[in-house]
Copies of this chain bind each other. A is one copy, B any other.
Amino acid sequence: MKRGKLEDVVIIGVGCSKFGERYNKSYEDLGVEAFEEAIVDAGISRDEIEAGWLGTFFPGFGGGMSGSSLADTIKLYGKPITRVENYCATGMEAFRNAAFAVAAGVYDIVVALGIEKLKDRQSRGLPRVDWHPLLIKGNTAPGTFALPAVRYMEKFKIDRKPLAKVAVKNHKNGAKNPKAHLRKVITEEEVLLAPMIAYPFGLLDCCAVTDGAACAILARKEVARELKKEYISILGIGLSVTSARPQFKPDFEYIGFPATVNAANQAYQMAGLSPKDIDFAEVHDCFTWTEISNYEDLGFAEKGQGWKLIMDGETELNGRIPINPSGGLKSFGHPIGASGLRMIYEVVNQLRGKVEEERKVRIKNGIGMAHNLGGPGSVACVTIIGNKE
């Protein structure tokens, strides 16, 4: 049967708040910061927006439950607004569902906004976890991702050094990025000697826990042209979801994330593209090893060979396939519901050449990728954007 395309859907504006410990800003403040940049970027007024999708993972402390939280944040009242949630892919899911509604021809201009306040939550005590399939068993995110990382290191005979190099690269990129959370250059030695969280992940192998918001304005291509807006097209989106049960285990034969492989294949197929067509990517580096697995799962390296990419500098800003020029979750930060949209913000701005000179990647085909991975690796979303023509 025929496969649909999203080729009539384009991005006309993006925005992103400063990421970090934003104790002095509310949930709504952060959303406004990202939204204001996006509508100025798109050159539209709020009233031109016909519908919205909100990405927030944890409701609480000022917002996140229902579409009303987006309505109250940007004062967009009387419009259709949906909240979506899909673990760490929540932000990209807001974008994906917004894109479908535009492709359906129901709306001309819509907003996808991801907002998450994580620092206040932590400082006020962890949320109840008695409902959570993993946390209730005493497992944590580092512990979950550590299992396949250890198996990978064992099978492909590497030590912690390639992992440390991922952290060093992403901090180097993030240090050049004014909106990043942890703008600090770090050394391999610092990563290797940092306090151990869950072997093989030390403190500096783990991404930041961050407050932030990010936003994209989507439109029908025809409308964007009528309004003479500069735009970037959505070429492909894939989403794959698998079990998140406590007994769920990563695939220890494959040693990676089948959800990412599957989501990437969907996106490549919809776009009619392959990994070699991608100029650069923002990928989900929740832990340093996750980024190495992503290289492989997304098709940039064979399984078991990804660690060589970071050792050889191929994923550096000036490498063959730059990964996380923003600084990634590691340095830019990871406010869950915002991260996917923050990646799209970065990819759009890199494609336009609108980032700091010192962290620009080389644009060859004009095509970039964003990738989210959520839960215990059970949810992955991949978006390919660019202008093929």
Q: A-side interface residues toward B, CB under 8 Å?
A: 1-6, 51-52, 59-62, 64-72, 77-87, 93, 96-97, 99-101, 103-108, 127-128, 130-133, 223, 238-245, 258-259, 262-263, 266, 270, 374-375, 378-379
Contacts and interface: CB of A to CB of B under 8 A. Distances in A.
Closest 8 pairs (CB-CB, A-B):
A60-B131, A4-B105, A68-B244, A80-B239, A103-B104, A4-B106, A67-B241, A81-B241
Given A85-B83, A103-B106, A131 B244 contact: no
B1 A108 contact: yes
29 contacts: A1-B108, A4-B107, A5-B105, A51-B239, A60-B131, A62-B131, A66-B87, A66-B241, A67-B239, A67-B241, A68-B87, A68-B241, A68-B378, A71-B241, A71-B244, A77-B242, A78-B262, A79-B240, A79-B241, A80-B238, A80-B241, A81-B241, A82-B93, A84-B84, A84-B85, A100-B100, A103-B105, A127-B128, A128-B128
Contacts of A375: 66, 68
A258 to B, nearest CB: 7
B71 A243 contact: yes
Nearest to A104: B103
Contacts of A131: 59-62, 64-65
Contacts of A83: 84-86
B82 A65 contact: no
A124 to B, nearest CB: 8
A273 B156 CA distance: 64
B6 A104 contact: yes
B78 A86 contact: no
B78 A258 contact: yes
> Which residue, A128, A132, A241, A266, has most C-beta atoms of chain B within 10 A?
A241
A243 B72 contact: yes
A239 B104 contact: no
B240 A78 contact: yes
Contacts of A270: 106
B4 A80 contact: no
B130 A60 contact: yes
B240 A65 contact: no
Given A6-B106, A60-B131, A105-B2, A244 B82 contact: no
Contacts of A3: 106
A246 to B, nearest CB: 11
Question: Taking each of A2, A51, A71, A378, which has the highest tally of chain B beta carbons within 10 Å of its own beta carbon?
Answer: A71
A86 B11 CA distance: 25
A97 B85 CA distance: 13
A66 B374 contact: yes
B71 A82 contact: no
Contact of A379 (B68, B244, B266): B68
Nearest to A51: B239
A66 B78 contact: no
A85 B56 CA distance: 10
Nearest to A8: B104
Contacts of A262: 78
A115 to B, nearest CB: 13
A258 B266 CA distance: 41
Contact of A223 (B1, B67, B128): B1
Contacts of A128: 127-128
